[in-house]
Amino acid sequence: MNKTKINLLKEYIKNNISPILIDFIDGNSFPDSIILNADIDKNKLNGHYENIDFVAPDWYYELKNKQVLVINNIDSISKEDQLKFVELLKYRKISIFELPENIVIIITANKINKDTINEKIYSLVAHIGE
């Protein structure tokens, strides 16, 4: 693994300025994280109604005890399906629920290029790559 990339990733995590897109570490490598597989059903990503109340998705409640939210293998879904993560990446919220300020968002992929990552998604992240 490239030491320069690792050091850059550490700095990005420390500063937490924007979501980070990487292709050199698996999403399971981040301790103290919540991992959302890219193929998560949109209903499980966004929350749901219970009677008249709109409630956050289950993973959201686990964030208060974590430091990292990983969207794992985003290139495993279509570029169109990747758009379900725009609100999370752009506004740091899901539906009406804001992410805690300290949460770092990391998006992993096996291969990052114009054929695998949606342009809109790519515009919302800091890419650590070649």
Three-state secondary structure of the chain: CCHHHHHHHHHHHHHCCCCEEECCCCHHHCCCEEEEECCCCHHHHHCEEECCEEECCHHHHHHHHCCEEEEECHHHCCCCHHHHHHHHHHHCEECCEECCCCCEEEEECCCCCCCCCCHHHHHCCEEECC
Fold for the domain defined by 3-128: Rossmann fold (3.40.50)
| CA–CA separation, 66 and 36 (whole Å) | 13
pLDDT at residue 40, rounded to an integer: 97
pLDDT at residue 26, rounded to an integer: 87
Q: Can you read off the two tokens belonging to residue 94?
A: 């899901």
pLDDT at residue 62, rounded to an integer: 92
pLDDT at residue 130, rounded to an integer: 65
pLDDT at residue 14, rounded to an integer: 93
| CA–CA separation, 13 and 18 (whole Å) | 9
By the 10 Å C-beta count (0-12 exposed, 13-18 middle, 19+ buried), 122 is classed as: middle
What is the pairing mode between strands 126-128 and 20-22? parallel
- Whole-model pTM: value is 0.92
Per-residue pLDDT of the chain (130 residues; tens, 9 = 90+): 588 888 999 999 999 999 999 999 888 899 889 999 999 999 899 988 888 888 999 999 999 889 999 999 999 999 999 999 999 999 999 999 999 999 999 999 999 999 999 999 999 999 997 6
